[in-house]
């Protein structure tokens, strides 16, 4: 098997996804992790969340926790072999910063669930450098999509997405690292939604439209899928757990990226997000929490 060669990992973003990636990388791949978030409060909350995840095995917990080190800014990532960005917003500017601050050999991975990896790779090319030049190709070639699933310590899958520019070496090393972190890897082309969200989000959106049109009640929609299709939870409850704002953002990306009317977001979904009803994380969505 190809060695991933990752001796130190940098994770940008200490939210639930970023912390989860840091956690499995420290625990399973056993690499030192540098963790950065602009919010010190978020870092503190994230590390407290790590303590909770690790409380079942004290010895293993201490080893993993000792491998995670907060840093004050991304300049602290200067010597990492791979940097993973959790942040969905400002991906382009983040990867431009990675190009300036990180080693030229570092892999730049995006944990996006829908944003074009090719577009992010283009943003990693230094200003004034041609995308067709050797420097441009090398800069963009180290960008890859590593789509982890929430909650990261529990979900076994990582989607590996190649930009048009991603080098084979970057792909091979990223795959090897995900496997070392205990994940099964599937591969998708860089298309809107990749495989997972191109299938899941229209399914959720259609369930919301059924509720919107009065085809069935919330409980009947979810019960139909749970008992009729053996799904662990119904699509409306699942949307609440993902976050309705996240569902809307991904559905809008699918619609904008394809201009296919079948991806048009439900009006009810848009209104619920307008109301601040984001699901479980806000205390109210299709269900109350």
Concerning whether 147 is annotated as a catalytic residue, the answer is yes
Q: Which of 97, 116, 159, 266 is catalytic?
A: 159
Concerning whether 197 is annotated as a catalytic residue, the answer is yes
Q: Which of 110, 113, 116, 205 is catalytic?
A: 113
Q: 162: which 2 tokens? A: 């190649």
Q: Which of 25, 85, 114, 197 is catalytic?
A: 197
DSSP code per residue over 80-96: -SEEEE---TTHHHHHH
Q: Is the dihedral of CA 182, 186, 189, 192 positive or negative?
A: negative
- Please report which residue ranges of the chain form alpha helices under DSSP H: 16-27, 40-54, 58-66, 91-101, 117-123, 134-141, 168-180, 196-213, 218-223, 235-242, 244-258, 267-274
Q: 61: which 2 tokens? A: 């917990």
CA 175 to chain CA mean position, Å: 15
Q: Which of 86, 111, 116, 147 is catalytic?
A: 147
Concerning whether 159 is annotated as a catalytic residue, the answer is yes
- Nearest Cα residue to 198 out of 156, 141, 274, 257: 257
Q: What are phi and psi of 195, to 5 degrees?
A: -85, -50
Active site residues: 113, 147, 159, 197
């Amino acid at each position: 098997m190809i060695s991933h060669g990752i001796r130190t990992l940098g994770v940008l973003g200490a939210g639930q996804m970023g912390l989860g990636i840091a956690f499995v990388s420290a625990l399973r791949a056993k690499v030192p992790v540098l963790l950065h978030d602009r919010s010190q409060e978020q870092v503190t909350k994230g590390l407290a969340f790590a303590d909770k995840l690790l409380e079942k095995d004290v010895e293993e917990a201490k080893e993993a926790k000792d491998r995670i080190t907060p840093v004050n800014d991304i300049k602290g990532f200067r010597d990492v072999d791979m940097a993973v960005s959790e942040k969905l917003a400002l991906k382009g500017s983040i990867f431009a910063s990675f190009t300036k601050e990180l080693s030229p050999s570092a892999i730049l991975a995006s944990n996006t669930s829908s944003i074009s990896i090719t577009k992010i790779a283009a943003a990693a090319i230094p200003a004034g450098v041609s995308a067709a030049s050797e420097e441009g190709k090398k800069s963009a070639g180290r960008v890859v999509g590593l789509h982890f699933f929430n909650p990261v310590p529990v979900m076994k899958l990582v989607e590996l997405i190649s930009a048009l520019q991603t080098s084979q070496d970057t792909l091979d090393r990223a795959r090897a690292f995900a496997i070392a972190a205990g994940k099964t890897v599937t591969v998708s082309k860089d298309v809107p939604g990749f495989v997972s969200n191109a299938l899941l989000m229209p399914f959720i959106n259609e369930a919301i439209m059924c509720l919107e049109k009065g085809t069935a009640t919330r409980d009947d929609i979810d019960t139909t899928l749970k008992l009729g299709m053996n799904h662990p939870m119904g699509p409306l409850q699942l949307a609440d757990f993902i976050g309705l704002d996240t569902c809307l953002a991904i559905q809008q990306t699918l619609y904008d990226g394809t201009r296919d009317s079948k991806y048009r977001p439900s009006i009810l979904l848009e209104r619920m997000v307008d109301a601040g009803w984001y699901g479980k994380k806000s205390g109210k969505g299709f269900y109350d929490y």
